[in-house]
Amino acid sequence: MLGRLDDYETRSGYVITPVVVWAGAEPVTRVNPDEVDGLFWLSVPEIDVEPRFERIPESPRPVIQLPMLDTLLHAPTGAVLHQFREVVLHGRHTRVDGYEQPVFAWR
């Protein structure tokens, strides 16, 4: 284990604890199709993107959006990747607990 990022509490009541590890050059992965829709490998330059922030009337917190993989990644995934980028790639002390999920994820 290289370190931990901030816990992220989701609107659905789960707490995600991101752990940063080195898995080697070709890690073996196995996904549970009941839990994971897809697995993507991103290079460091692909993670180094500027976030977008949207305001919504339902919350005072901004919704974070990361433009990558030909879509917009929102919190919690977008928040975790943004914190990784800020801390690991840029050495900036960044918290993400103030970023909101989009309303469609509140269910």
Per-residue pLDDT tens over the stretch 7-52: 999 999 999 999 999 888 888 899 999 999 989 989 999 999 999 9
The arithmetic mean of pLDDT across residues 41-64, rounded, is 95
Contact 73, 63 (CB under 8 A): no
Give a yes or no: residue 32 inside a domain: no
Please state, in angstroms and rounded to a whole number, the distance separating the CA atoms of residues 17 and 8.
7
Please state, in angstroms and rounded to a whole number, the distance separating the CA atoms of residues 99 and 54.
10
- Beta-bridge partners for 65: 52, 74
Q: Which range of residues forms the domain containing residue 10? A: 3-21+38-105
Split into its structural domains, the chain has a count of: 1
- Beta-bridge partners for 74: 65
Please state, in angstroms and rounded to a whole number, the distance separating the CA atoms of residues 84 and 3.
10
Look up the pTM and report it: 0.89
Give a yes or no: residue 26 inside a domain: no
Give a yes or no: residue 56 inside a domain: yes
Give a yes or no: residue 60 inside a domain: yes
Give a yes or no: residue 28 inside a domain: no
Give a yes or no: residue 30 inside a domain: no
Give a yes or no: residue 29 inside a domain: no
What would the 3-class secondary structure string for 30-86 be?
CCCCCCCCCCCCCCHHHHCCCCEEEEECCEEEEEEEEEECCEEEECCHHHHHHHHHH
Give a yes or no: residue 33 inside a domain: no
**pLDDT at res. 23:** 84
Q: Which residues contact 39 (CB under 8 A, 6 or more apart)?
A: 29, 31
